[in-house]
């Protein structure tokens, strides 16, 4: 059974479906980002020349896929995502010490994508908005 591949439009729809989110285009890299007044929580991430050089030095390559960056709730959550879903999440030297992961949209389950986009948004929205949204959208896990 073939799983549908996530797209940048899926990320856009998920992000813009959350309260208080706006989309901006980064003038530096040209990619879209989704943010609240407190800052970006998801962004399209293309590799820089430096990224490619650093990965090559590590014997790695940038994936041939659309990639987005997502904020994480600290280094432990970042590490857990990288270890639990190594096909979908990765990091690069530029992100060392930074609470964010990179996501291969061609390798992530749509339900997991929804979860991590929502978790990233919750980090960048006010407590009241977060609590209201969580109360209206109880977790299926209980």
Question: Where do the structural domains in the chain lie, given as residue ranges?
Answer: 8-123
In which residue are the tokens 């996530």 written? 6
pLDDT at 82: 97
**Percent of the chain, pLDDT > 90?**
85
**Exposure on the CB side of residue 88, measured as CA atoms within 13 A:** 19
Q: What 3 state SS string does 50-80 have?
A: HHHHHHHHCCCCCCCCCEEEEECCCHHHHHH
140 confidence band (pLDDT: 50, 70, 90)? low
Tokens of 128: 């009241």
CATH number of 8-123: 3.90.1150.30
Per-residue pLDDT of 22-46, as tens digits, reads: 999 976 677 899 999 999 999 999 9
Cα–Cα distance, 124 to 56 (Å, whole number): 33
């Amino acid at each position: 059974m073939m799983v549908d591949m996530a797209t940048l439009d899926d990320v856009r729809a998920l992000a813009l479906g959350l309260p208080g989110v706006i989309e901006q285009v980064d003038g530096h890299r040209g990619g879209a980002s989704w943010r609240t007044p407190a800052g970006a929580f998801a962004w399209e991430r293309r590799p820089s020349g430096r990224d490619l050089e650093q990965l090559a030095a590590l014997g790695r390559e940038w994936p041939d896929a659309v990639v987005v960056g997502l904020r994480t709730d600290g280094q432990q959550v970042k590490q857990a995502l990288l270890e639990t879903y190594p096909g979908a999440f990765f990091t690069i030297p530029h992100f060392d010490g930074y609470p964010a992961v990179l996501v291969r949209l061609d390798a992530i389950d749509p339900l997991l994508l929804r979860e991590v986009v929502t978790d990233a948004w919750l980090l960048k929205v006010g407590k009241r908005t977060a609590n209201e949204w969580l109360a209206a959208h109880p977790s299926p896990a209980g």
